[in-house]
Structure formats: C-alpha cells, structure tokens
Chains A and B, each alone.
Chain A
Amino acid sequence: MALVGFARSSIARLAVLHAGLLAVSMMAVLGGVYLGTSRLIAEEGDQLIALEAQGLSEDFRERDLDAFVTTVVDRAEDPWVRGGVYELRGPRGDFLAGNVVVLPELAVQPGGWAEFDVAVTRGDANASRRIRAKVAELGGGYRLLVGHDVQDRRTFRAVMLRSLAWAVLVTLLFGALGGWWLGRRLSRAAQAISASAGRIAAGNLGERLALTGSGDEVDALVSRFNELLGRVEQLTTTMRAVLDSTAHDLRGHLNRIRGAAQDARQTAREPAAAAAADAVLAEIDRLSETLQGLLRIALAESGTAPLDEVDLSAVAADLAEFYQPVAAPGQLSVAIDPGLSVRGHRQLLAQALSNLLDNALKYGRGTPVALRLTRAGANARLEVEDRGPGIPAEHRELATQRFRRLPGSSGLPGSGLGLSLVAAVARLHHAELLLGDAGPGLRAVLELPLAIGGSAH
C-alpha cells in the first residue's frame, strides 16, 4: 500500500524522471566517446597491418624467394617482441615460414581480414591473445598472413564499457536523489497548501499559509494564495454582514406587517375583511418560512456554524420515533447501528434528516420507507429510501437546487428548499447528498465522516 502510494506520488515520478533523463544523456555522451575512440583505434591498427602487408608484398616482388623467406623468418622470430604474427605459404599450400599455423583453417579470401586467438606462454602464465590479420596474395600462388596483437584494444574497450556502466549507475543514483529532494520540496509545499485549503474550506477563513522565507517560486505561489484568501475572507465577511443585516431588516418588517395584519384580523367586523386578513397572515407565514429556510441554508453554507460531537445514532433514532406515528403501521422501517458519532451541528443534522423523512413520507405516497444508519469504513452512512415514483436521473441534480420543484410535485405542499438544505448541511459536514434509484423509489444517501474516537456516547 505504502509502496503503491509512493509510486503514485509526484516525488517518485520526479525522481524517476530526473534520474532517467540524466542517465540517458550520460549514456549518449559517453557512448559517443566510446564509439568514436574505439573506431579510431581500430582504423589506425588496421592501417598499420595493411602497410606492413603492403611492404612485405613489395619485398616479395623485388627480392628472390629465399631472401624473402629469411625476412619473414626474422620478423616472426619472436612474435611478442614486436607483437606481429606471420605465416607464409607456397603455391601448393606448403608452410614456408612463420610463427603461427592458421591459414589452412581460415576461410579468408586473399586481401581479406581475419581475427583469431593465439595461445601464448609468457613466463609461467598461459594466456590467449587476440590477433587481427590480413591475408595478402603475393603472386605465383604464394600467400602471406600478416597480423598484429589487438588484445590491448579489446581490454581498452572492456574498460571503457565498464566505466560507462558505472557512470550511468552513479548518475541514476544521484539523479534519483536529486529528483527526490526536489520532489519532496515541492510536495511539502503542495501538502501544506492542500492542508490549509482543506481547513479554509471547512470554514476557517482566517487561516494563511506560512512562507518559507526563501523567496523562491513556491513562496511566490504561497503569497499569491494568501492574497487570494484575504480577498475571499473579505468577500465572505461582507456577504455575511449584508446577509445578516438584510435578514434582520426583513424580519423586522415582516414582524410589523404581521402585527398590523393580526390587528386588522382582530378588529375586522365583516367576514370578508377577516378572511382577507387571514389570507395575508397565511402569506406572511409562508414568506417567513421561506426566509427561515434560506437563512438556515446560508448558515450551513457559511461554514461558521459551531460543530460539536453529535451522537448521530441517537439523532436518527429520535427522529424515527418522532415520525413513526405519522407513517402507516409497518410503513417506516428503521435500522440504526448504535454509537455512531460525527462532528456536527445537531439541530441542522436533525433538520436535514427530518426533511428527508418528510419527503419520503410525502412523495413516497404511502409506499414503504426505510431509514438506515450504518457504519461504512470511516463514515456513518445515512440512507432514507421510499418506493414511490422516485426522481428521474436527469432531474436529480435539479432537485437539490433552491426553489426547484420537480414536475409532478406541484400538488404537494413544499417550499422547494428541503433538499437544498439537506445538501448544504451535507457540505457543512464534509459529505455529499447522493440521490439514487431505489428501484423503484428514491434513495437519499449521506456519508458523514465519523468523529475521531468513533463510538463515543
């Protein structure tokens, strides 16, 4: 788990990328040097062999055979002093001179090149040396093999390759370390920003990110982020103040209107006047109910509602008991796991659940309603479902918007704020209201993170 997490982290990706790029460029540079050097050495060596073979061919043409054989014998006398090997063969393939016997086995065209190993005794040690040779056609059926010891070339190549491998390995190691360091720095900054953003989203708008003081790009980002937060806080505070004073003002007005209407109702002499006053009173009450609903949603969404540890099991059980008499016998089934506590706002949670039960009993049109509260990992899962007509998938998002009432619900009472309050309360509790198909019917699900300490009472 930890490894998978690490492999997915940006630190790991950056470390691998950094090391990989460094290693590839190192391989390109050193590989180029290696190829160039070994080609140069090989070409120069071959040129020397070709030159000697050419010289000896000229000797063969200018001198008589015996003198030429003597020259070859002289040169071949001690092959490891000058590092040369020779073999001279006559027209019938007979061995005339030389210090190796390889020509009969070599399937080389005259003028061609061959490579073979020769066993050498030097001191006590037996060693095998690599020879590169050219076969020259001397004319009249005589053939001469001229070769040089190229063992050093091979050794050089091996050393080069080994160094290259080491260089790449070391580069990989340091590249990974560098990438890891860089990644960790960025990742720490990102984590700090992410943690702060989480707390700010939870309503702690006064929080600011700490600067590292290095004045680098991360610091620049952080101070920009802080500016943004300052702006958000200022806007939120202004919004809140406007909302509070507007609400206060509206309530004052409504109160006066209600007082006047009530007064009119009490002093009305004619039934028509009394009926009119009653209608006004009823409208005022609906208006204040809507205002109240909107303000509750605003309270939940502001994230400023004070949160405490709430025994959700008890809240759910109380509400189930509260609604039980409204339901037909056996209509409301309840299954509640005990002892599930969340950090939350008791009144808002109770109101949200009350809205869900209310909707299920109202829109479920007498079908069975189920209330379930279960533990789902680190969450408390609250479900309310009915077997009524449900909400078609394309309308579910609309259902949580303010004042949206779904087609077909116009005959039923409701302000169009019920589900938006539930959605707002869910967000206050870091949860989401999910509306699904109970097949048939509507299933509303809230998954709220359990309070730390889980099952406190």
Chain B
Amino acid sequence: MKILLVEDDRRASDYLLKGLRELGHAVEQAFDGEAGLKAAEAGNYDVLVLDRMLPKLDGLEIVKQLRAAGSAVPILILSALDEVDERIQGLRAGGDDYLAKPYHLEELAARLDALARRQGEAGFVARLKVADLELDARARRVTRAGRKIELTAREFQLLEFLMRHAGQVVTRTMILEGVWDYHFDPKTNVIDVHISRLRQAIDKGFERQLLHTVRGAGYTLTEDP
C-alpha cells in the first residue's frame, strides 16, 4: 500500500515511517501543509495520513482542497486535539477517519488497511461471505454451512462490521466506534466478551474457526489465519 504521511513532527513521522515500512507499506513523507498538498495532488497514493495542525496549510484545509478538486483518496486525520467534537469537524471536512495522538502503530495500521480496502469496493454490498459463513444485510440473515444462525441485532451488526473488514485486523476502538458509536474506552473488557459470545454463535461446533484474536491488536475474521 502506498501511503503519504504529512506530519511536521519529524521524529514522530520517522517512527511512523519505520513502523509502516516494517509492515510492508511504501511510505513517503511531507513535513508541511503546502508540500503535503502538492505531493497528494501529484502522487498516486492509496491513502493519506494528515496531521491536523500543520505549518503553512492546515490539515483540514488540505482535505477540503483535495475534495474540492474531486480527489476521493482515503484520508486519515491524525491529531493531538482529541475532543469528541474535534473529530466530528475532521470528518465533516471530508476526512474518512480520525485518530488521536498518542496512537498505537497497530491501531493506525489497521485503520489504514480498512480505509484502503473500502476504497476498492464498489458501493454497498448486501451479501457477504467468508468461507461457509454468509450474511445478508438486507434480509438480516446469517447462515453457516447453510444452517441459520440466530443473532441479536447488535451481534448481527458486530458480525457485519467484521465481515466488511474480513481478512483485516479490526481493533477494539474500531469496533467501539463502528458498531456502538462510542468514542470512549470502557474500563472493562466488554468488547472481548461480545466477541467471545459471537464466536460461540458462529464458530462453535465447526472445525474451522473463522473469528481470531490478534494479540496486542484486535480481531480478524478470516478463513486462513
């Protein structure tokens, strides 16, 4: 995946560059807003990582200009301003995701992965399939090996979220935000409990497990771990 990283904090940018390269991504850097905008317009990137506050041109301003020019490149906004309401501003300006500093490298990587993949899909897909697990978002129906699985509304939402990110790592915060729209961290391991209940429902009694825990990062739904 080709990533443009626009971040004026050089040390932070370098750590991120190193981390993302180790994960197998091609990363280029820009250190101020103007250079970032120029690079974004010229290069063909899969995803942009923009700091919210940049010298010369503000991160939000870059997003607005790119969107006005018709660019649909997925953008993740990084910010040291984390107020729930700042986040809304970032998304309203045309950003696709928002992550507060300090972030975990795994969290950022998982979100970039999700953003780039979403870009590849054309429109809304109602029928999702991972191995013999099938989900019909319109009919609100889940089957495994042709057998119907009963889920609560929230379990269904959780499974749909995981299936839309099939093969990718989804973090606990991604699940909290994507399924419950909670932008805070509950103290207890509530997500883990929800996941294990879902695992009971879809994996129990089957030889091949689909829902896996990724140590230190989150979960992934995939047929080949």
Contact = CB atoms under 8 A, between A and B. Distances in A.
Interface of A: 244, 247-249, 251-252, 254-260, 262-263, 266, 284, 288-289, 292, 295-296, 299, 305-306, 318, 321-323, 325-326, 345, 347-348, 350-351, 354-355, 358, 361-362, 413-414, 418
Interface string B5-45: 00001011011101100100000000000000000000000
Nearest to B194: A325
B80 A289 contact: no
A344 to B, nearest CB: 13
8 contacts: A248-B81, A258-B104, A260-B11, A288-B102, A351-B184, A355-B187, A414-B187, A418-B187
Contacts of A258: 102-104
A251 B188 contact: no
Contact of A358 (B154, B186, B194): B186
B125 interface: no
Contacts of A288: 102
A267 to B, nearest CB: 9
A248 B100 CA distance: 10
Contacts, number: 104
Contacts of B18: 263
Interface in B156-214: 180, 182-190, 193-194, 197
Contacts of B83: 295, 299
A355 B182 CA distance: 13
A256 B193 CA distance: 32
Interface residues of B, number: 36
A303 B44 CA distance: 44
Contacts of B11: 256, 259-260
Given A306-B85, A325-B194, A347 B182 contact: yes
Contact of B184 (A259, A296, A362): A296
B15 A256 contact: yes
A256 B184 contact: no
B105 interface: yes
Q: Which 3 A-B pairs have the closest CB atoms?
A: A259-B15, A251-B80, A255-B102
A323 B105 CA distance: 28
B12 to A, nearest CB: 5
A450 to B, nearest CB: 23
A255 B82 contact: no
B188 A362 contact: yes
Nearest to A306: B85
Contacts of A414: 187
Given A254-B101, A259-B11, A348 B84 contact: yes
Nearest to A352: B184
Nearest to B15: A259
B188 A326 contact: yes
Contacts of A318: 180
A255 B81 contact: no
